[in-house]
Structure 1
Amino acid sequence: MMRRFLAILLAAAVLLPSCLRHRPGDSGEATQQKDTVLPLGFLTDAYQVDSSRVRDGETFSGLMNRLGMGARDAYTLVQRCDSIFDVRRMRAGNDVEAYYSADSSGRRLEYVVYHNDRIRSTVFQCRDSICGWVYSRPVQKVRKIADVTIHNSLWNDMIDAGASPLLIVDLADVYAWTVNFFGLQEGDRFRVVYNQTESDGEVIRIDGIDFALYNSGSFSASAIRFDQGDGGNKYWNEKGESMRKAFLKAPLQFTRISSRFTYHRKHPITGKVRPHTAVDYAAPTGTPVHSIGDGTVTLCGWDGSGGGNRIRIRHMNGYETCYMHLSKYASGIRQGSRVAQGQVIGYVGSTGHSTGPHLDFRVWKDGTPIDPLKMISPPSEPLRSENLDSLGKLYQAYLDTLSAR
């Protein structure tokens, strides 16, 4: 009973009313409903509900009109709710529920719930005292440990291990310079200490990785979050070497390799055997392509030899990279442009000689083609020496935490 009472108080606390809330029925009904948990501020079960999404190009007035509210009332609603809801921030694709009462004359729109995000919703009262308020789901911060061994795919194995697939994005960011996520093998293992925000058992977001340990055969890579307070790198291995390197491991996220670096490949179009000094990443048209390192664009245009739309970038220490078959270039990318590591430079396509959407990615060192999957990236600046002892103790503490499971 105490937990139920606290839940009622919490639900009431997160409602931010901009006006008095209407409750259907007479005063007796309203008194009875005060004892009912009303997460959205009204008794949802008393109404018929229609679910939809905001359409592309749809305005707030257009949405409300589609759901059954007149233009004048919609204007009044906008004016009364301007302190809690900016109609210009309404996003296409967001979920909307419309609640209707029914009688002999038909259905009448009573409430509309617009979901701003996975935590916040704006509730609009559409009859009587037209107004609105904000509801925020109760959330909690949870510290978690994930232990994932690759059997099928990182996505499925993450779920099988009881962890949220949302963790994959953060994991890929931490290991972007160290682990080739396109080349994971069966038996590879990730152990991760991290934090997440939950609501009613649902994972809302990952709040950062504190420690990760990757093992693949005899190779291992640890990542320890340690802030030196200088606004720079946050992740280091146990030796104090930065996890950030001069080059990313791949120019795309979460795709598959369709063709590898070789000097003897049968061309899929001509049928001739010739060198393929590139790695092909199969991905849907429009997938963002990132520069793997800082550099200057030396070529940006059509490759008449079959590469289609391509970008070539010169990096430091004699490295060059090339990205081909692009559907289009990112805004501002042209010959002479300076680009940063991780910056979107274009989008996957199938231009030129191509059998389907993919990225042809090439790397040269001092003019000689090298296998991008075997490229050894120079490390960034190491941890300051005065912090090595603290880092070592933190590393051992995380190992002890994992061993205790």
Structure 2
Amino acid sequence: MKKYFNYKTLIIAGLVLAGLYLLSTKLKDIPEEVKTEEHQAIDSAELKLVNLKYGFPIDDFKVETSKVKRNQSLSTLLRQYEVSFSTIDKIARKAKKVFNVRKIKSGKEYSVLFTNDSIKNPEYFIYENTPVEYIVFDLRDTLHVYKGEKEIKYLKKQVSGDIESSLWNAMVSVKADPLLSIELSEIYAWTIDFFGIGKGDRFNIIYEEAFVDDKPIHDIKVLAVNFIHHNSDNYAFAFTEGEKKGFFDEKGNSLQKAFLKAPLRYSRISSRFSNRRFHPVLKRYRAHHGIDYAAPTGTPVHTIGDGVIIKKGYQKNGGGNYIKIKHNSVYSTTYMHLSRFGKGMRTGVRVKQGQTIGYVGSTGLATGPHLDFRVFKNGSAINPLKMKSPPVAPVKEENKPAFEKLKNDFLIELSSEKAISLQ
């Protein structure tokens, strides 16, 4: 039995070797280009990419895209595609915790995804709430509503130009987003008076611009700038320390100054910033774009930052005795209901941070002594309690090596003045 097993094993092994030899001979006879084509065909099939939109393999659907017309609601939009009233009611209820369907606005884009067959049933309704955010209404049996976000791509750019009339026009002339002019006015708010810039001044900016679906969404992040004003370089480099991002000059000094947190020692906040507040004297609702600080009559009121008094007097529309101070080309503040003004306070006078400019009172339309304090940014009222506080100290010693590397890299790019693309 043992001898029989050995002969059988040898016979099988011989047959296998013979088969392998014949196979290798046949493969040699196949033209090389045929083998290559077959290999490439396999690779291309494996590498075939799925075309995704809104998170769906969009080629698997029939798609109709349009814009919301005036007075169209979720109901009128879906009824166009024969979605039942019952389904619309249920999906609207499902949406409550995700999106208020009453906020669907005309001009916004939407898409409807249908089954890719002859019946063409609508399966998904997608409303583009913002350039980035979209709302998916799943119209299938599950009736599900959820939010999604499109991919944001950032393009790194560099732009330079000369000012002939205004910074805004200069941006337009070099085909850059004019919003860059506002960004620069905020970056240099404490160092350059942008009402005083003019012909002969020049800028060179490196920044990132956000795109969605290859369209700009007006989201700009300035990385480095040299603004040449009166033939002097004014560098600004964006640098983050901890959780705070600030702008620093080439020596690592902050370009920003801090405001005082409040313009007085107060007892309590009696009224907050609101677009619709019930006025205690007029007995009706109207906007209150300031903070009311309750404090005893005669409490000193201080300016929250250096600046120039641009208005002083009595407001007949309810503000009483007031002072308005321009701090820079971006920020100004107003102090109202004063009982009296500080010594020497008049239009054109320069004041220092913390200087007494007046005293708490109840002049004008007021039910009791308080300061109505308002902050304006680029001419528009903002909530004083939500003002961002940028770092004002220089770059910390432990962060200086990182800052120096970042600064030197940007200095090379600023000197080249070439547009750069971010992959």
TM-score (norm 2): 0.50
Q: Distance in 2 between matches of 1:7 and 1:160?
A: 43
Change (3 A) 1:296 1:187: closer
The aligned counterpart of 1:176 is: 189
- AA in 2 matched with 1:196: E
C-alpha spacing 1:60/1:344, structure 2 compared with 1 (3 Å): farther
Other structure's SS at 1:9 match: coil
1:6-64 residue CA offsets vs partner (Å, 9 max, x unmatched):
8962515x426xxxxxxxxxxxxxxxxx8x747xx54227xxx45326x6xx9856876
Q: Distance in 1 between matches of 2:108 and 2:339?
A: 42
| Partner AA of 1:244 in structure 2 | Q
> C-alpha offsets along residues 359-399 of structure 1, whole Å, 9 cap, x if unaligned?
xxxxxxxxxxxxxxxxxxxx943333454454344323211
Change (3 A) 1:302 1:8: farther
Which residue number in structure 2 is paired with residue 51 of structure 1? 68
Verify: 1:383 aligned to 2:418, yes or no: no
Matched, 1:397 2:409: yes
Counterpart for residue 336 of structure 2: 299
- 1:336 equivalenced with 2:349 (yes/no): no
Find the counterpart in structure 2 of residue 236 from structure 1: 248
Paired residue type of 2:50? L
* Structure 1 unaligned blocks of 5 or more: 17-33, 102-107, 249-276, 280-288, 304-313, 322-328, 348-378
Check 1:87–1:346 CA distance in 2 against 1; reply closer, same or farther (3 A cut): closer
Pick the aligned partner of 1:15 from 48, 55, 60: 55
Could you give the per-residue CA deviations for residues 258-308 of structure 1, whole angstroms, max 9, x where no partner exists? xxxxxxxxxxxxxxxxxxx848xxxxxxxxx998499997533899xxxxx
| Alignment: residue pair count | 283
In the TM superposition, residue 224 of structure 1 has moved relative to its aligned partner by: 1.1
* In 1: Cα distance, 2:145 partner to 2:333 partner: 51
Matches within 5 A, 1:342-361: 346=381
Evaluate the alpha carbon distance shift between residue 15 and residue 210 of structure 1 in structure 2; reply closer, same or farther with a 3 A threshold: same
Which one of the candidate residues 199, 214, 221 is aligned to 2:212?
199
Q: Which amino acid aligns with 2:52?
A: A
Q: 1:298 to 1:144 in 2, by over 3 A?
A: closer
Partner SS for 1:147: strand
1:73 and 2:87 are equivalent in the alignment: yes
Aligned position for 1:370 = none
2:334–2:375 CA contact under 8 A, matched in 1:
no
2:222 aligns with 209
Secondary structure of 2:211's aligned partner = strand
How far apart are 1:204 and its partner, in Å?
2.3
Residue by residue, what CA displacement relative to the aligned partner does 1:54-113 show, whole Å, maximum 9, x if unpaired?
A: x6xx98568767998665332122245567x42279465671548699xxxxxx999754
Corresponding residue for residue 87 of structure 1: 100
Q: Cα distance, 1:232 vs. partner?
A: 4.6
CA contact (8 A) 1:8 1:37 kept: no
With over 3 angstroms needed to count, the CA separation of the structure-2 counterparts of 1:222 and 1:61, relative to structure 1, is same
Task: Report whether the alignment pairs 1:316 with 2:360.
Answer: no
State whether residues 222 and 238 of structure 1, in contact with CA within 8 Å, keep that contact through their aligned partners in structure 2. Answer: yes
CA distance in 1, matches of 2:335, 2:245: 29
User: Would you say the 8 A contact 2:159–2:176 is kept in 1?
Assistant: yes
SS of aligned partner of 2:240: coil
2:205·2:225 contact (CA, 8 Å) conserved in 1?
A: yes
What is the distance in 1 between the residues matched to 2:414 and 2:204?
Answer: 8
Rounded to whole Å, the distance in 2 between the matches of 1:186 and 1:215 is: 11
* Letter of the structure 1 residue corresponding to residue 371 of structure 2: G
Residue of structure 1 in register with 2:128 after alignment: 115
- Check the 8 A contact 1:150/1:157 in 2, yes or no: yes
C-alpha contact (below 8 Å) 2:206/2:222 kept by paired residues? yes
Describe the shift of the 1:154–1:239 C-alpha distance in structure 2 as closer, same or farther (beyond 3 A): same
| Shift in alpha-carbon separation, 1:343–1:157, aligned structure 2, 3 A | closer
Kindly, what percent of the aligned residue pairs are identical? 22
Shift of 1:147: 1.5
TM value normalised by structure 1? 0.52
- The letter of the residue matching 2:90 is T
* 2:176 corresponds to which of 163, 178, 181: 163
Alignment partners' CA distance in 1, 2:55 and 2:413: 39
Measure, in 2, the Cα distance between the counterparts of 1:6 and 1:300. Answer: 71
Give the root-mean-square deviation of aligned CA atoms. 5.3
* Cα distance in 1 between the residues matched to 2:152 and 2:335: 49
Residues 184, 52 of structure 1: alpha-carbon distance in 2 compared, 3 angstrom cutoff: farther
Q: 2:55 is matched by which residue type in structure 1?
A: L
C-alpha spacing 1:319/1:344, structure 2 compared with 1 (3 Å): farther
Corresponding residue SS for 1:336? strand
Whether the 8 Å CA contact 1:148–1:191 is kept in 2: the answer is: yes
Supply the distance in 2 between the matched residues of 1:98 and 1:393 (Cα, whole angstroms).
47
Are the counterparts in 2 of residues 94 and 114 from structure 1 also a CA contact under 8 Å? no
Distance 1:394 1:129 in 2: 52
Q: Find the aligned partners of 2:112 and 2:186 in 1 and give their Cα distance.
A: 42
Instruction: Tell me if 1:187 matches 2:200.
Output: yes
Classify 1:114/1:345 alpha carbon distance in 2 versus 1 (closer, same or farther; 3 Å): closer
Matching residue of 2:283 = none
1:341-367 per-position Cα deviation (integer Å, ceiling 9, x unaligned): 9699959xxxxxxxxxxxxxxxxxxxx
